[in-house]
Amino acid sequence: MGLMEKFFGLSWGIHPKDHKRPAADAVTRIMPAPERLYVSLAQHLGAPALPSVLVGQRVKKGDLLANPQGSVSAAIHAPTSGVVAAIGEIPAPHPSGLPVLAVTLAADGLDEWSEALEATPDPFALAPDEISRRVAAAGVVGMGGATFPSALKLASSRKAGVTTLIMNGGECEPYLSCDDRLMRDEADAIIDGIRLMLYATGASAAIVGIENNKPEAIAAMQAAAQAYSEVSVRSIPARYPMGSEKQLVQTLTGKEIPAGSLPAEVGVVVHNVGTAKAVRAAARYGQPLVSRLLTVNGGAVKHPGNIVVPIGALVEDVLAFAGGFSATPGRLVMGGPMMGMSLPHARVPVVKGSSGILALAGAELADREEGACIRCGSCVRACPMGLLPLEMARHIQGDDLKGAVKLGLKDCIACGCCAYVCQSHIPLVQYFAYAKGTLAAEDRAKLHADATKKLALARGERLAQEAREKAEVAARRKAEREAAKLAEAAAKTATAATVKTVETEGAPA
């Protein structure tokens, strides 16, 4: 592959129309906290957080609302000052619309910061582990959308001896421009955050990869990074999915991450540029992650642009703040159009991983009729992981999930390139999502069956033991009874013998 790429350029990926402007060029707006905020307790990868506040309790902005629970989890903080109105289930920002536990906050409109924030003038004087601890306390998660707790990633990178920090400024998803806007507006803060992350992970160099369709962001970041030799900013070709971890690492370092392993395997770790800003706020000012920059875009949005939104604001409030609709939206999407989630309705909250809210309309949604696979191989050329989507889908259609796994289903990153290029409009990536979900459910069922098997065995042993004990008691009773009988019989014969003797003695001679 290497030689082919040298002569013919990259073969994987697609070039969808990016729709990033004019939203990317609009000035960033800041949304004030709405009257009610719905802060989900499961907005990170891993176990949901455990609420640490009571209904009716008054909290200030940045106060802890929920503690992390388990080894992979993240803390949740109050996005504004107010009163905890409820702790209960709300619809999750998810295609299923299933409920998720959340803390409902009634804002008091003052937006007062908590006084308990741990600010420090020079975070580089702290121990690297202390930076990770502060990042964990601030509930920072990966801002690119995967929402893995950042503190765990910093600490594990240090243990694994990672040498290079890759900063993901790719933002290859069409429509989204929040990372672009952040790099233009706050390049200095991001570079400071990157230096803190270098310090926390022990890596020696950082490479910021930015797609070449964002010249303003590249210029701003290069200017900010000039003073620091350990941070380099590189322009990379615009191509979807360049922002995917494996593709970005390969493009920037030439190293290929082996199937089924983490980037640490080749000595690198990948973080989003937004995460760098959140790490800086946590380490320098003790500020938890309570708001984020996200893109509001799509054909139905009147004033598309980037908005700083408090976590927990409802999508409908954000859309109203953005200026409302110019047309009736046919579909609402959280995230990008390629990998984002279609929302059942607008009454779902913004979470830490929401990079965008799209209200799509008209031609953006053209429903295409599915045809038969003509085996043209477009999906094979487009697949960035070098898989055979057409073959995998055929196996899944025939209910042969194991066959699909053999073809590399586990390596699929669900980027959707295959479905995008498909001439026959086959929903290939949906097949893969279905198959992966079904396989995970089968694994869970197997674990459950193993656990219940153990319970059944334990019950069998218990019943056997009870039966044994009963038999022992019965045997003992029987023995006692027989002993008593024997004794009685012996006593009887003894008495009889005495009587006989007496009789004999008493008899006339």
Compare residues 132 and 354 and give the one whose CB is closer to another protein.
354
Peptide bond into 310 cis (omega under 30): no
From 222, 251, 253, 430, residue interacting with another protein (rule: CB under 8 A): 430
Q: Cα separation of 153 and 201, whole Å?
A: 9
Q: How far is the CB of 458 from another protein (least distance, A)?
A: 7
Shortest Å distance, C-beta 348 to another protein? 12
Report whether 297 contacts 23 (CB < 8 A). yes
452 binding another protein? (CB under 8 A): yes
Q: Least distance from C-beta 334 to another protein, angstroms?
A: 14
Q: Using CB under 8 A, which of 458, 474, 491, 496 touches another protein?
A: 458
Which ranges of 128-211 would DSSP assign to H, the alpha helix?
Answer: 128-137, 150-160, 178-185, 187-201
Q: What sign does the dihedral 333-335-337-339 (CA atoms) show?
A: negative
479 lies in the site for another protein, by CB under 8 A: no
| Sign of the C-alpha dihedral computed for residues 295, 234, 256 and 148 taken in this order | negative
Least distance from C-beta 314 to another protein, angstroms?
Answer: 18
CB atoms within 10 A of CB 286: 18
Rounded to whole angstroms, the Cα distance separating 303 from 23 reads: 8
The mark string for 54-93 relative to another protein (x by CB under 8 A, - otherwise) is --------------------------------------x-
The whole-angstrom separation of Cα 248 and Cα 244 is 6
Smallest distance from another protein to CB 74, Å: 16
Question: Considering beta carbons, is residue 461 or 472 the nearer one to another protein?
Answer: 461
Is residue 98 a contact point for another protein (CB under 8 A)? Answer: yes
Q: Which residue in 30, 146, 259, 449 binds another protein (CB under 8 A)?
A: 449
CB of 39 to another protein, least distance (A): 16
Question: How far, CA to CA in Å, does 443 sit from each of 283, 440, 473?
Answer: 39, 5, 45
Residues 250, 167: contact at Cβ < 8 Å?
no
Q: What does the alpha-carbon distance between residue 422 and residue 368 come to, in Å, rounded to a whole number?
A: 11
**CB 405 to another protein: min, Å:** 14
**Should residue 406 be labelled a site residue for another protein when binding is judged by CB under 8 A?**
no
Q: How far is CA 334 from the centre of its chain?
A: 15
Stretch that binds another protein, among 152-160, 236-244, 259-267, 430-438 (CB under 8 A): 430-438
Residue 212 to residue 233: CA distance in whole angstroms: 11
Counting contacts by CB under 8 A, is residue 451 touching another protein? yes
* Residue with Cβ nearer another protein (451 or 509): 451
Which among 334, 417, 349 is positioned nearest to 145, based on CA atoms? 334
CB within 8 A of 69, min separation 6: which ones? 47, 48, 49, 50
**Interface with another protein, residue 437, by CB under 8 A:** yes
Query: Binders of another protein: how many residues, by CB under 8 A?
Result: 38
Q: Which of 336, 13, 25, 23 is nearest to 173 (CA)?
A: 336
Q: Give the footprint of another protein on residues 5-64 (CB under 8 A).
A: 42
Chain residues 366-405 in contact with another protein, contact rule CB under 8 A: 369-373, 396-397
What is the Cα–Cα distance from 272 to 254, expressed in whole angstroms? 19
Residues 160-199 interacting with another protein (rule: CB under 8 A):
none
Q: Does 445 bind another protein (CB under 8 A)?
A: yes
Q: How far is the CB of 288 from another protein (least distance, A)?
A: 24
Q: Which residue in 302, 368, 459, 468 binds another protein (CB under 8 A)?
A: 459
Please identify, using beta-carbon distances, which residue of 402 and 478 lies nearer to another protein: 402
* Residue 265 C-beta: closest distance to another protein, Å: 27
Stretch that binds another protein, among 121-129, 176-184, 451-459, 487-495 (CB under 8 A): 451-459
**Quick one: 195 or 352, whose CB is closer to another protein?**
352
- C-beta of residue 231 within 8 angstroms of C-beta of residue 196: no
Distance CA(266)–CA(261), nearest Å, equals: 9
Which residues of this chain interact with another protein, rule CB under 8 A? 42, 92, 94-96, 98-100, 369-373, 396-397, 427, 430-431, 433-434, 437-438, 440-442, 444-445, 448-449, 451-453, 455-460
